[in-house]
Amino acid sequence: MDISNALNSRFTCRAFKHDSVSRDVLNKIFEDANRSPSWANTQPWEIYVASGTVLKRIRNGYLENFKGEIPPEPDVDLVKNWPETHEKRIKELGAELFKHLKITKTDEEARKASWKRNFQFFGALTVVYLCMDQKLGEWSMFDLGSLSQSIMLAANGIGVNSAIAINLVAYPNILRRELNIPEELSIVIGIALGYQDDGSPENSFRSPRRPLDEVVKYCGL
């Protein structure tokens, strides 16, 4: 698969089959992704991978918190006030996804069930957690973003699907307990890995992108 195909075929997988990704396949993904660039080659990332009984305990802990309506407390603060244009896109995405799933505005039970899937990790049997030292700042966060994209593209290139989501790191206390992540590391983002459930309507949904003439500003060309 070439880079253009990898970029255009990658999507957020919201329903995974109950098939595990082998350790050999994961190592191949991480070997390729580890070539990601970083500021002065600092390579600020630490990668934790959860599967099997460990991930089951994490999932159960998340679902207990969801049931108890315990608000997420990720290490990286959530945006409290999005700029108007960004908030508009967020709302449009949610509306389009619910429309695609045939969930009406008044069907609160279906909406809650859809939201709950985030805390079930979309059924994935492997979740990757990207961490970095708390002393580091925005530039190292940028480097982790680069690594995240590399992981997802490397996975896509060998037929493994992915879902990157802040809700995967919603409860860092559970992750630290189960994965022995030290306090000096910020748990930045999670990426679920697995194989898409082709029969799930969630996986036929594609989020729109802004047109290039709105995004790109050419100067002197």
CATH number of the structural domain spanning residue 64: 3.40.109.10
In this prediction the pTM is 0.96
Total of domains in the chain: 1
Is residue 12 classed exposed, middle or buried when 0-12, 13-18 and 19+ CB atoms within 10 A define those classes?
middle
pLDDT of residue 104: 93
Q: Is residue 98 part of a domain?
A: no
Distances (CA, A) of 21 to 31, 110, 177, 184, 194: 15, 30, 24, 29, 6
Q: Is residue 115 part of a domain?
A: no
Structural domain that includes position 160: 8-79+121-204
pLDDT of residue 35: 97
How far is 162 from 114, CA to CA, in rounded Å? 18
Name the nearest CA neighbour of 102 among 14, 15, 201. 201
Q: Is residue 59 part of a domain?
A: yes
- Can you count the helices (H) and strands (E) in the chain? 8, 4
- Give the total residue count for the chain: 221
Q: Is residue 101 part of a domain?
A: no
pLDDT of residue 53: 97
Q: Is residue 197 part of a domain?
A: yes
Residue 57 CB coordination number (10 Å):
14
Q: Is residue 144 part of a domain?
A: yes
Question: Could you list the mean pLDDT of each consecutive 10-residue stretch along the chain, which spans 221 residues?
Answer: 89 96 98 97 98 98 97 94 96 94 93 95 98 96 98 97 97 98 98 97 95 96 89
Amino acid at 164: I
Q: Is residue 174 part of a domain?
A: yes
